[in-house]
Every structure is written in C-alpha cells, then in structure tokens.
C-alpha cells in the first residue's frame, strides 16, 4: 500500500464518528474488548491534541469540556504509572496543571481528590513563593514534608479507579460541547512518519 503524503485532520466519511458515538451511547456498560473507557477517552484526546500540540501553550486554550477530557487522561496516565511522585516529576507547568486538574476533579464530583491535589500544590509553595517549574527544586521542597506528601499520595490512590468512569459520565452529560470533534481524525505519535505532517 502507498501511504498518502498528507493525512487530513478532518474525516468526512460516513463512519468517521463511530468511536466518537460509542462514548456517548446511553447506558454505562462498555464492551471490555473493544470499548474500554480509557481507549475511548484516549480517542477523544487524540482528536483534541494534534501533531503540533504543545502542552504549556495549548492546555490553557482548551474549552472546559476539552480540558476535562485531557486532564482526566493525563492524570490517569501519569499518576497511574507512578503515583504522586511521578506527577511531581512529570508536571511541565504547575501554574497550568493545578487549576486544570483541580477543576477537572471538581467537575467530575471527585472532591476529595481535588482537595488532595490542592494540598499537594500547597506543599510546594514555600514562603508564599509560586510552585517552581524546575523539577529538582520541587523535589527539594517535598523532602521536608515527605510524610504529608505520602498521605496525599495514598488519598489520591483511593479515588484513582473512579477518575475515568466519572470523567466519562461528565463527558456524556456535555456531549454538545464536544460535538465539534466528531469529524476530527484522532492523531497519534508516529503518524507523521507514515502520513506526513497533517
């Protein structure tokens, strides 16, 4: 097969919205083989984030609905692979991340998780200073309060399994705010090599 040089971002074919529609079907049951919640949420994220996606630039530009999708998936992927320690190390821009993840948790009725994340960022503020962007400086600030940090980590793990189901419920209730993504092709890393820059 010969791949085209360019892959359009918009797909007007009749089945373009199949996976998009699957997320919004009535009922809470998902086919465990083909329709896992995390796969469908990832599909939405891949429609929001394109090949030129830059998190520190683009995250603040998202609508509330898009932000909820992206932050739920980011938290699931990052925290799920290493807890609060990994979130601490992977956070590219705390000034953007704190309102993003806390707001997402509040919208999804994960209020304990939202409170824990607020407390986490409060630990990183020293003498009224903002949370540093530098990872090493953040790590240094956590060491004197490691016990409190570990308690927050445990609290977040208690709610972790609810993040994707609650996000999915919120997204279903706000379908109209995401309808513009129906014809956007999901983009995944590696597609540029096969299809060219879209």
Q: Averaged over 152-167, what is the pLDDT?
A: 95
Stronger pLDDT, 18 or 4, i.e. the higher one: 18
Predicted pLDDT at 5: 32
DSSP sequence for the chain:
-PPPS---SB--STTTTHHHHHHT-SSS---TTT--HHHHHHHHHHHHS-TT--HHHHGGGS-HHHHHHHHHHHHHHHHTTTHHHHHHHH-S-HHHHHHHHHHHHHHTT-HHHHHHHHHHHHHH--TTPPPPS-HHHHHHHHGGGHHHHHHHHHHHHHHHTTHHHHHHHHHHHTGGGGGGGTTBPP--TTHHHHH---
- What is the tens place of the pLDDT at every residue in 41-51? 888 898 898 88
* Domains (range + CATH), the chain: 18-195 (1.20.1420.60)
- What is the tens place of the pLDDT at every residue in 96-142? 999 999 999 999 999 999 999 999 999 999 778 899 999 999 999 99
Residue 178 has pLDDT above 70, yes or no: yes
Predicted pLDDT at 50: 81
Residue 18 has pLDDT above 50, yes or no: yes
């Amino acid at each position: 097969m010969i791949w085209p040089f360019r892959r359009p971002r918009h797909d007007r074919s009749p089945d373009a919205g199949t996976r998009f529609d699957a997320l919004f079907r009535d009922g809470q049951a998902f086919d465990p083989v083909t329709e896992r919640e995390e796969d469908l949420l990832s599909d939405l994220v891949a429609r929001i984030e394109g090949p030129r996606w830059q998190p520190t630039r683009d995250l603040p530009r998202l609508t509330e609905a898009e932000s909820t999708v992206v932050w739920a998936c980011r938290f699931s992927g990052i925290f799920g692979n290493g807890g609060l320690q990994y979130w601490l190390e992977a956070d590219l821009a705390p000034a953007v991340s704190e309102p993003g993840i806390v707001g997402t948790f509040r919208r999804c009725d994960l209020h304990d998780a939202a409170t824990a994340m607020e407390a986490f960022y409060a630990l990183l503020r020293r003498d009224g200073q903002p949370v540093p962007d530098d990872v090493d400086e953040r790590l240094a600030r956590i060491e004197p309060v490691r016990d409190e940090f570990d308690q927050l980590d445990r609290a977040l793990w208690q709610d972790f399994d609810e993040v994707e189901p609650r996000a999915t419920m919120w997204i279903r209730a706000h379908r109209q705010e995401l309808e513009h993504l129906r014809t956007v092709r999901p983009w995944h890393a590696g597609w540029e090599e096969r299809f060219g820059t879209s």
